[in-house]
Each structure stands twice: as C-alpha cells, then as structure tokens.
Amino acid sequence: MKVEPEALLGVVDLSDKAQLQLPDVFRYWQMHIATRNDTLKDFIDYLISLRGSSRGSWSRISVPALSENGRAYNSLMHEATIMSIVANLGSIVDYFDEGQGRMVGARDMVVPGRCTVIDVSREPQGRFQSLIIRHLLLEVLRYQKERRERGEKLCPVIFAIDEAHIIYSSRYKDLISKEISMVAKTGRSLKCGLILASQLVSDLPSDILRLAGSKVVFRVGQRESEALGFGRYANILENLKPGFCLFQDSIKIRGRVFTKVPRAPCKVISG
C-alpha cells in the first residue's frame, strides 16, 4: 500500500499521542509485514491482532514501530488507542481499497507533452484532497531525484493547483502546506515548477506569496490586493475589465505591467 505514513494523519481524527504513534506503527507494517498486494484493511486486521489476550480498556500493548530515520523500536499503546485507530481507519477503508482502481504513479505522469488532470473536488471536507495532492507531489519529486541520480535527462514538470485557497483554508492544510512550500523553494533544481490559482489570495501563506517569481492578478478587491503587496494599485485592480491583469515577474521583467490576456480557444465536443 503506497501511502506516506504521515499522510494518514490527514484523514483520521485521533488524540495527540495516537497521532505521534500511528505513522511509525504503519511504517513498520509497510516495511516488514505488508506484502505487495496488501490493503488498508490488512493493516486494520494487523492492529486488531495486536490486542492478543488483553481485554482491559487500559491494557498497554507493545507495538513494533519504525521511525522516519529508520530506527526500529517498540511503542507502548493503550488498547483503547489501538481500537480508536481501527475505528478511524475503518471509516475510510472503502476509499483506499478500491478494487477496480488503477494506481497512477509518477512514471505515468512525467512524460513530455502529457497533461494529467486530477479532479479532487468531489470530497468537500478537504481530507482526501490534501492527501492525494501530497502523495503526488512527493511521488513526482522522488521520481525526478532518482532520474537525476542516474544521470538521466529530466522532463520539466509543472504542478498547477486550482482553487488553492480551499486547501489552505481546510482543517487539513498542515498535511500538505510543507510539501507545497518545498516545491516552491527547491523544485527548480528538479525542473519542477508550481502554479497556484486562487480567488482568495489572502488565504494563502505569506511565505508562498513571497516565493512567487511571477504573479498574474485579475480583478480583485482591496483585501486581496493588499495580501499580494499591491495595495497602491487596489483601485485599478478593483476595476479591471475582463481579460486584463497586472503581471509581475521578478526574474526577467523585474517589474509590473498591465496587460490583456487573450482568451484560450474553446471547443465543445459532442458525441
């Protein structure tokens, strides 16, 4: 089961202590127990099997764990904590264990001329949106690093995230904000670029806005203008006509210009 252990924290509601224990327990299971075709249901069954003969709600069970730096150890967990994890994971098992689904990896997406569109808008709470985006970012970055280490030519990649304010306003934003910042800071060395599109720029982290090499701003209100550092142009930005924008490029133009963006050609295909 190819899921980053820490990513599970974004789709479960657990106590602080359980959140510290779950990733390492899951990592140990992934590395030392799970087989190639094992699913989340198999991990749940594994947790249940750890209860052994313990039946008290406060029984402490020694559970094998593996830290992020590869250190194996035993984590003492209350039986009640284990069963809370089991209940949480059980509520999302159908999402992960889709038998008819096909795993899409970086090798499928990082192909010259290919555009991969992933719609995560059907899950309004943001849990799986963040997990999916986080997984894909890490998967592609890892793939690019491996190609570079083998001396292979890297295929340029652009990550484009629409409605980015939804991610950052979600209660699960901590699951992915670090990865997005990492792409913004170091992605260039792996030929990875990042585009964030949002109607509510003020919801985006200030460090992301500072790192943006280019900004394209269409008609926005006073609050959004100030969040972008364009407070002095607020009156102009509030009254821009459709298609017109303020463009700032700190790499080549090193300044700001107002320009018109031509509409992309649209075609309705029926059939």
Q: Report pTM.
A: 0.69
Distance CA 26, CA 75 (A): 12
Q: pLDDT in tens for each of the 271 residues of the chain?
A: 677 788 787 677 788 888 889 999 999 999 999 987 888 899 999 999 887 655 544 578 889 999 989 999 999 988 888 888 999 888 877 777 666 666 778 888 999 999 888 877 766 555 677 777 888 888 899 999 999 999 999 999 999 988 888 777 766 676 678 888 888 888 889 999 999 988 888 878 888 888 888 888 998 888 888 888 888 888 988 998 888 888 888 766 566 777 877 766 655 544 4
pLDDT for the residue 271: 42
pLDDT for the residue 207: 82
pLDDT for the residue 233: 87
End-to-end CA distance of the chain: 38
Is residue 185 left, alpha or beta, with left meaning phi > 0 and alpha meaning psi from -120 to 50? alpha
Question: Which of these, 196, 192, 215, lies nearest to 205 by C-alpha position?
Answer: 196
Q: In what order do the strands lie in the sheet with 255-260?
A: 214-217, 244-249, 255-260
Angle of the 79-90 helix axis to the 40-49 helix axis, nearest 10:
160
Query: Which amino acid, residue 5?
Result: P
